[in-house]
Amino acid sequence: MSQPRTIMVTGGAGFIGSHTCAELLSHGHNVIVVDNHQNSVPEALRRVESVAGRRLAASYVLDVRDRNALSSVFARHPVDTVVHFAGRKAVGESARMPVEYYDTNVGGTTALLEVMSEHHVHRLVFSSSCSLYGAAARMPLTEDYQVASANPYARSKWMCEQILADVCARRPEFTVHALRYFNPVGAHRSGLLGEDPLGMPDNVMPCIAQVAAGLREHVTVFGDDWPTPDGTGVRDYIHVMDVAEGHRLALERPAPPGLHVLNLGSGRGTSVLQLIEAYQRASGRPVPYRIGPRRPGDVPELVVDGSAASDVLGWYPIRGLARMCRDSWRFQTANPYGYRTPGVPGPAVAEPRATTGPVRLHATPRSST
Ligand code: WQD
């Protein structure tokens, strides 16, 4: 067990953020969450505490671009590390609203860096993405592979990495890990935490889960004419708790100042049809599908060589495809409507708003013991 840290998690109520908060809390760290709940609900944080068996130090509803609100959180808590998830992440949506993606993802990161500097906080773990590799010719991908970002979402992540590189070059006190994920899926083994997409899921795994649960008629497979073994898209799916552990190790392991870019992936490629088959085995339910046209912006294959993260962090993805599907199914059956109770309208989608200060969701934090 490493020395307990006081960690701010931006976007901590989101899919990967909430699982990471549970991981950090259960390893003795003190966690403060800031989230504007544009794509998440506060219920996720109550579940984080339940599965970790510990309370968050505090949580605040704010947009990271609101520098005053963010600064007042740093002023209230002895934050020594930040894990930055807050941002927009849908590849297709980013092509429809590029300015919002750059403003949220890039603007949010620059605002955070400014406020961190003001409060002399210099340790950051940044949520980057494998989508910045674009359509790569060589698999599995290593970190030195040339970037070919094919959409505003991927480009926003690439821009953030460039900004982080410049900050580290200018400010040698900064230590930053940029973790490039592939396809995080699955759920916490408790069945209390999982992927809770607002509306129609963009990603294939929640779509498959909803079809298996009978909430949707079929999965539309985006193309079966890709240059892959069965013609459907191949991705490197990775259990969300393996991703959460990668974040914990990145902030716990000693690291020299500077920017450290690491892929988090399993090195194993799975096609859409293989994923559907694995889910049918895990759930015992049929998952009907239809072949549709390719999705704009898609690439045939993305599989990563994760050995750098293993060497540097001692990180190894230990949960395989069957476990990903089993844990996803447990969450789906326990929470057919995600974190929302049926018939009760979900919270209005919180648009970022100028706040006079952070709105604290929790009572005064416990003394941080
Ligand atoms: C996977 C495969 C689709 C939906 C995601 C995130 C992105 C990044 C990487 C973090 C593809 C196919 C999908 C469907 C389908 N994560 N598919 N029918 O596109 O790899 O990107 O992971 O940064 O933010 O979006 O994931 O789950 O959308 O697609 O056939 O209804 O499933 O064509 O081959 P993707 P995905």
* Ligand 1 proximity of 93 Cβ (cutoff 6 Å): no
Distance 73 CA to ligand 1 centre (A): 35
* Ligand 1 proximity of 181 Cβ (cutoff 6 Å): yes
pLDDT at residue number 352 = 36
The protein residue whose alpha carbon is closest to atom 11 in ligand 1 is 233
Q: How far apart are CA 102 and CA 254, in angstroms?
A: 32
- Are 68 and 357 a contacting pair, CB within 8 Å? yes
Q: How far is CA 175 from CA 42, 129, 172, 258, 311, in A?
A: 30, 19, 8, 5, 18
pLDDT at residue number 190 = 97
Q: Would you state the structure tokens that stand for residue 255, as one six-digit string?
A: 């690291």
pLDDT at residue number 367 = 38
pLDDT at residue number 327 = 98
Ligand 1 binding pocket mutation candidate from 204, 238, 270, 272 (most atoms within 8 A of CB): 204
Q: How far apart are CA 34 and CA 12, in angstroms?
A: 7
CA atoms within 13 A of residue 308's CA, in its CB half-sphere:
17
Residues catalogued as catalytic: 153
Q: How far apart are CA 369 and CA 171, in angstroms?
A: 32
pLDDT at residue number 356 = 45
* Ligand 1 proximity of 207 Cβ (cutoff 6 Å): yes
The protein residue whose alpha carbon is closest to atom 13 in ligand 1 is 204
Q: How far apart are CA 30 and CA 24, in angstroms?
A: 8
Question: Which homologous superfamily does the CATH classification assign to the domain defined by 6-362?
Answer: NAD(P)-binding Rossmann-like Domain (3.40.50.720)
CA-closest candidate to residue 8, choices 79, 61, 58, 70: 79
Q: Is the dihedral of CA 339, 351, 37, 319 positive or negative?
A: positive
Burial grade of 311 (CB within 10 A; 0-12, 13-18, 19 or more)? exposed
pLDDT at residue number 340 = 81
Q: Which helix (H) or strand (E) holds 308?
A: helix 307-313
Q: How far apart are CA 94 and CA 327, in angstroms?
A: 29
- Are 310 and 264 a contacting pair, CB within 8 Å? no
pLDDT at residue number 1 = 64
- Are 69 and 60 a contacting pair, CB within 8 Å? yes
Distance 275 CA to ligand 1 centre (A): 12
pLDDT at residue number 206 = 95
DSSP classification of residue 132 = G
CA-closest candidate to residue 291, choices 206, 220, 218: 220
Provide CB contacts within 8 A for 38, sequence distance 6+.
Answer: 63, 88, 349, 350, 351, 352
Q: Of ligand 1's atoms, which has the minimum distance to the CA of residue 185?
A: 27
The residue written with tokens 């974040």 in the block is 247
Question: For every one of its 369 residues, what pLDDT tens digit does the chain have, with 9 covering 90 and above?
Answer: 678 999 999 999 999 999 999 999 999 999 999 999 998 999 999 999 999 999 999 999 999 999 999 999 999 999 999 999 999 988 888 989 999 999 999 999 999 999 999 999 999 999 999 888 877 767 788 898 888 888 899 999 999 999 999 999 999 999 999 999 989 999 999 999 999 877 778 899 999 999 999 999 999 999 999 999 999 999 999 999 999 999 999 999 999 999 999 999 999 999 999 999 999 999 999 999 999 999 877 889 999 988 999 999 999 999 999 999 999 999 999 998 889 866 554 444 333 333 445 665 544 343 333
- Are 30 and 5 a contacting pair, CB within 8 Å? yes
